[in-house]
Amino acid sequence: GENVEQHPSTLSVQEGDSAVIKCTYSDSASNYFPWYKQELGKRPQLIIDIRSNVGEKKDQRIAVTLNKTAKHFSLHITETQPEDSAVYFCAAIIKAAGNKLTFGGGTRVLVKP
């Protein structure tokens, strides 16, 4: 079926290091790829998104890259801080599934001080 795969499921980094999370998707027609951050017991919050007409987008310490040919996209967090610790979800609009927003399984990021 149509899905989004996310790796790794957990990621532990030292404060100040970079963190990279990768997602792959199955529908070549997908055109919208948001990333959400969810702290324990809180709502998912959009941190960055990218549309299929660009290959990279950056917002301060956060960047997302998209490779449409390979059908994968990645989140990059530089100079990580303890407050970056959370679960991060990638998602894609799966057109083949009726334009539903389909989420990856999540990556639990722990930034060690």
User: Closest approach of Cβ 48 to other proteins, in Å?
Assistant: 11
Q: Provide the token pair at 36.
A: 């959400």
Could you say which residues in the range 40-79 bind other proteins, by CB under 8 A? 42-46, 49, 51
Could you say which residues in the range 17-36 bind other proteins, by CB under 8 A? 31-32, 34, 36
Nearer to other proteins, 39 or 79 (CB): 39
Q: Provide the token pair at 94.
A: 């799966």
Cα dihedral 73, 106, 76, 33, rounded to 10, equals 40
Q: Is 93 in the site for other proteins (CB under 8 A)?
A: yes
Please provide residue 83's backbone torsions phi and psi, each rounded to the nearest 5 degrees: -70, -5
Q: Is 12 in the site for other proteins (CB under 8 A)?
A: no
Nearer to other proteins, 77 or 89 (CB): 89
Query: DSSP letters of 13-55?
Result: EETTS-EEEEEEES-TT--EEEEEEE-TTS--EEEEEEETT-S
* Residue ranges binding other proteins (CB under 8 A): 6, 31-32, 34, 36, 42-46, 49, 51, 89, 91, 93, 98, 100-106
